[in-house]
Structure 1
Amino acid sequence: MRYVELPLDVQTRRVASLDALRGFNFIWILGGEGAILALAQMCQGKSGPLDAFGNFLHTQISHAEWEGFTFYDFVFPLFIFITGVAITLSLPRLVEREGLRGAYMRIVQRSIVLYALGVIYYGGIGNHWADVRLLGVLQRIAICYLAASLLFLHLNWRGLLATVVVLLGGYWALMTFVPVPGIGAGSFAPDANLANWIDRNYLPGRLWDGTRDPEGLLSTLPAVGSCLIGVLCGLVLKDERLTAQGKSFVLIGAGVVMLAAGYLWSLQFPLIKALWTSSFVLVAAGWSAILLGITHQIVDVWGYKTWATVLTWIGANAILLYFINGIVGFEPLARRFVGGDLAASIDVLLTPGAGRLLSHMVALVFVVALAGYLYRRKIFLRV
């Protein structure tokens, strides 16, 4: 892992819409989620529409208990998708610069470092082996990046599409037809499905939910599919046969098709983020492609970039900011300035939740200040 100051000519080759979308993705992780939950708390219990609005916000900014799809369920798969898009933009230049062998080395190095950062993020190896979380968010990103990058280097778009079909279809077949000992086949209930059974019996270390892990072993297969769909959408952005506006329309259209297919598939294979079901992959990828198409149209085609400046700052150093937030925490830092009696007084003067909202807003100010400083200095985390 290293910090580098990139020359201006390298920076101008960044795709502004992709950085903006990555920043939109990560702002929810870095304080946006807490701010909206605080706003929901401020609205709940009030009369009429305010209470309904508060309940809506709380539902959408929380994970579905099991089946279903909320906005917050969308945050992680969106980043997996963005990782895939970025692969198509960065790897060809890497091959040109360092050759295929050098590209392999960099892919493996980056994957190992991301995986190690993930282990450290969840507590490292300071605890006993049984308490070390071997799979998690950064670890899944590392595995998906490794697999998708190697496939991208050796397959054309037809091969990549076929791989997605095999991964999603194969995962569906395994989950539907392979019997779970003592339960049988075709169950998708918590702790009563094949993916959870495999994690409980074969995944060492700490499981995030005690008896199961949402970033477990078998569910990594469709997650790679999520990343490959991002790769395919990245190829659309690079297709010189399409006009800039045509790329936006293709992305949005593909997103609509994936949404329809995902919701149709969910009638048999439910939308379950904790299992990363194939229907969940398609629905999340559909929304991701639509957002990418809209952002590309606004930022890269129409040239409206000013509104996305802060998002671009965050997106350009998303992993670094995520890691800092996990180890140090921007919101705990903010509470040192606006917590305690001050937050309690604000709750009394305004309404419960107002003090919490203030701390998360201050945390976001810290995030933006650090991201802006790093971006203006052209300092980016490269692993």
Structure 2
Amino acid sequence: MVTASQRFLSLDVFRGLTVAAMILVNNPGSWEYVYPPLEHAKWHGCTPTDLVFPFFLFAVGNAMSFAMKKYAEAGNAAVIRKILTRTLMIFGIGLLLNWFPFVKWDDGHLVMKPLSSLRILGVFPRIALCYGAAAFIVHYLKDRGAFVAACVILLAYWFVLIAFGTGDPYSLEGYAGLPLDKLILGENHMYRGEGVPFDPEGILSTFPAICNVIFGYLAGKFIQEKGKTYEMLARLMIMGCLLIFAALCWDMVFPINKKIWTSSYVLYTVGIALLLISILMYIVEFRGQTRWTTFFTVFGKNPLFIYVLSGVVVKLYLLIRPVPGQNMYSWLYQSVFQPIGGNMVGSFLFALFHVCAFAAIGYWMDKKKIYVRV
């Protein structure tokens, strides 16, 4: 991703805020003790945590609106090559992260993690697929065509769920994407967080997620074209409110749901993203209040690298056993943070500590002018 220029520092802040939030919600000291806003909705509905991933995809689209201008100067063949290369690299990183650290504990011994149970999809693979699809759509269909394509995808997804779902098409059991994932991916390569093979980053639900990137791209283009004006700010806020209203109306017949990434969920999260960016732009760009932004911009300047690093560290925690039968993750929580704040506060402090630790790493990288591009 390409970092937005300092003229739009607020976009860096938005991206960094999203990465920091991803680390916060992914790393509680104990999953038994998590404040409700930091948990995903059980099924229908949307918590603050459910906003984080679509915000990241929206930020990918923002960044893409700056990068595509450079791509256009390189010629069609070069554009295709760049998009495919970046897509495959991000997808490959996701697969490696899913497999990492390549070994696991089994009956007191370290054994290789079998490829036969490797999860194929997930957060990074979805980022890759959504970026690649959105980039090609924008490249070939241009701005208006991309907007129309996004609308068609959202409506077509609704139709597919109704036409091919069984029973309640918006339930786990009736969801049309579940048999598709089992057929193409295989149950052994799917997520089992619901207690059964079900991938919240599955094949079918990736299609509406592409629209989060497209809308992020269109918002980025609009901001660049209108510049730092109150007209731009007002139109962003109005569009955000309209999308939230439309999503809440659609929710009555097509529930807002992250796990199957419903079309109403796309509109809802894009609307909130537009409002949040509007607020950030007013504070940062219009009022010039930038002192507080450094903490978030250091995440925004190396977003994928810092997120990958956070995943690597946590997986290493689970591998290391400072005492027999207890991994580093639980030992650190129970020995350091739980005594300080108890169960709930200690669990939150554990997550907040890691956000600050990765912010420090990002700050050091920024000072050294180290920016890892994918």
Q: Give the CA deviation at 1:194.
A: 0.6
- Structure 2 equivalent of residue 44 of structure 1: none
CA contact (8 A) 1:37 1:61 kept: no
Query: Distance in 2 between the 1:289 and 1:136 partners?
Result: 25
Structure 2 runs not aligned, ≥5 long: 103-111, 321-327
- Structure 2 equivalent of residue 292 of structure 1: 277
- Structure 2 equivalent of residue 308 of structure 1: 293
Matches within 5 A, 1:1-383: 12=5, 15-31=8-24, 34=27, 58-96=35-73, 98-123=74-99, 127-178=113-164, 180=165, 183-184=166-167, 187-204=169-186, 205-209=188-192, 210-240=196-226, 243-329=228-314, 332=317, 340-347=334-341, 351-383=342-374
Query: Distance in 1 between the 2:331 and 2:258 partners?
Result: 36
The amino acid that maps onto 1:368 is A
Q: Give the CA deviation at 1:243.
A: 4.9
Q: Give the CA deviation at 1:13.
A: 5.6
CA contact (8 A) 1:36 1:61 kept: no
RMSD across aligned C-alpha pairs, in angstroms?
A: 2.9
Name the count of aligned residue pairs: 351
3-state DSSP of counterpart to 1:369:
helix
Structure 1 runs not aligned, ≥5 long: 42-56
The amino acid that maps onto 1:248 is L
Task: Tell me: CA distance 1:247–1:331, structure 2 relative to 1, closer, same or farther (3 Å).
Answer: farther
Task: Tell me: CA distance 1:139–1:197, structure 2 relative to 1, closer, same or farther (3 Å).
Answer: same
Q: Give the CA deviation at 1:331.
A: 10
Task: Tell me: CA distance 1:275–1:153, structure 2 relative to 1, closer, same or farther (3 Å).
Answer: same
Aligned sequence identity (%): 26
1:67-102 CA deviation, whole Å, 9 max, x = no partner? 111111111011011111111111212333x33322
CA contact (8 A) 1:31 1:331 kept: no
Query: Distance in 1 between the 2:142 and 2:198 partners?
Result: 36
Task: Tell me: CA distance 1:58–1:37, structure 2 relative to 1, closer, same or farther (3 Å).
Answer: farther
3-state DSSP of counterpart to 1:201:
helix
3-state DSSP of counterpart to 2:162:
helix
Which runs of 4 or more aligned residues in structure 1 lie more than 6 Å from their structure 2 counterparts after TM superposition?
35-38, 333-338
TM-score w.r.t. the length of structure 1 is: 0.83
CA contact (8 A) 1:32 1:364 kept: no
Q: Give the CA deviation at 1:354.
A: 4.3
CA contact (8 A) 1:269 1:277 kept: yes
Query: Distance in 2 between the 1:22 and 1:328 partners?
Result: 21
CA contact (8 A) 1:191 1:211 kept: no
CA contact (8 A) 1:310 1:368 kept: yes
Q: Give the CA deviation at 1:363.
A: 2.1
Task: Tell me: CA distance 1:123–1:247, structure 2 relative to 1, closer, same or farther (3 Å).
Answer: same
